[in-house]
Amino acid sequence: MATDASPQLRSVPPPSDFHPEISLSQSPTHDGLHFWQFMIAGSIAGTVEHMAMFPLDTLKTRMQALGASWSVQPVSVRQALGSILKLEGPPGLYRGIAAMGLGAGPAHAVYFSVYELSKQVLSRGDPNNSMVHAASGVVATVTSDAVFTPMDMVKQRLQLKNSPYKGVAECVRMVVMEEGIGAFYASYRTTVIMNAPFTAVHFATYEAAKRELMEVSPDTANDERLVIHATAGAGAGALAAALTTPLDVVKTQLQCQGVCGCDKFSSSSIGNVIETIVKKDGYRGLMRGWIPRTLFHAPAAAICWSIYEASKSFFQQLNSR
């Protein structure tokens, strides 16, 4: 009897865990979220954080830029605030906020998405490893600072008393014409060196504090979890801000150099700037603005982490439907 030599095709059932409606490009990357969802959550959190706390950022910049070319008596937060309100009115506290708005969203989208991706890659099944959180934060800040530094420089120049620039566009145009594109990144190295330990302390402290608080009350409702995120974020932000103030002063000096009487440095050497500050104002000069900086970062971090975690929860619920 003749037989059919051609093989017969048999239907092979797909694996039980295979879902054809979910492609590899659409699968969640971490914590049940897609990569783009981390970007949106981070962008919203960062923008709201910086816009809400912008007046304190202006006070910090004014206090750190004072006395760049001559030694002066320390200026308190009250004196700096009183001077701005007297000479410029409330709008003076918001000069440069447009630059912040343009830079904060994209930078924080990169910041949080890279952080989550790095945490996923480095954790290797241990989500509570503080060293992984710190290392992921450093990777995130190096990447996001490349996005944010140019607009941060524009923002700080607009915040200066008697700033020669009328707005973001004019500042960008004049800097390009007079100093070149490299001026936008004069403080990048300092910013990274400052933000690397800042972020390492911040993220490690936040994750540890959040974990401890959640263990104290594991069955918390959504509103109680919001308080936990805010508390952990505020503590982490305040600690990291206080420890890195000297480098923030150096960053401000480099970004504002040559404007409104600020020193013009021959190089972006951190040591050179520190030497100049100590020579003219003593070691106290390295801590100028630490109070408004801490007052900025404590509530700012609370706002940022609360909104970020709330946005993640929203996307998680959306993905589970």
Q: Which pLDDT score, from 0 to 100, does residue 5 have?
A: 45
- State how far the Cα of 278 lies from the Cα of 16, in Å rounded to an integer: 68
Tokens of 190: 């300092």
Q: Is the pLDDT of residue 25 over 70?
A: no
CA within 13 Å, CB half, 204:
16
Q: Is the pLDDT of residue 114 over 80?
A: yes
- State how far the Cα of 254 lies from the Cα of 187, in Å rounded to an integer: 6
- State how far the Cα of 236 lies from the Cα of 288, in Å rounded to an integer: 21
C-alpha distances in angstroms, 51 versus 48, 200, 273?
5, 24, 29
Q: Is the pLDDT of residue 178 over 90?
A: yes
**pLDDT tens digits for 32-61?**
788 899 999 999 999 999 999 999 999 999
- Cβ atoms of residues 206 and 245 within 8 Å: no
Across-strand partners of 33? 30
Q: Is the pLDDT of residue 284 over 50?
A: yes
Q: Which residue has the tokens 């923030």?
A: 248
Q: Which pLDDT score, from 0 to 100, does residue 294 have?
A: 93
- State how far the Cα of 221 lies from the Cα of 310, in Å rounded to an integer: 12
- Cβ atoms of residues 100 and 157 within 8 Å: no
Domains annotated on the chain, with CATH: 35-320 (1.50.40.10)
- State how far the Cα of 321 lies from the Cα of 313, in Å rounded to an integer: 13
Lowest mean pLDDT among 209-213, 216-220, 266-270, 275-279: 216-220
- State how far the Cα of 136 lies from the Cα of 117, in Å rounded to an integer: 8
- State how far the Cα of 103 lies from the Cα of 149, in Å rounded to an integer: 8
Find the farthest-apart pair of alpha carbons in the chain and give their distance in angstroms, rounded.
109
C-alpha distances in angstroms, 136 versus 39, 204, 205, 273?
16, 9, 13, 29
Tokens of 140: 């995130």
Confidence label for 225 from pLDDT (cuts 50, 70 and 90): confident
Size of the chain, expressed as the number of residues it contains: 321
Q: Is the pLDDT of residue 241 over 70?
A: yes
- State how far the Cα of 187 lies from the Cα of 184, in Å rounded to an integer: 8
Buried b (16+ CB within 10 A) or exposed e, 95-112: bbbbbbbbbbbbbbbbbb
- Cβ atoms of residues 57 and 296 within 8 Å: yes
Three-class secondary structure assignment of 211-234: HHHHHHCCCCCHHHHHHHHHHHHH
Confidence label for 219 from pLDDT (cuts 50, 70 and 90): low
C-alpha distances in angstroms, 143 versus 29, 107, 113, 210, 298?
19, 9, 10, 25, 23
Q: Is the pLDDT of residue 9 over 70?
A: no
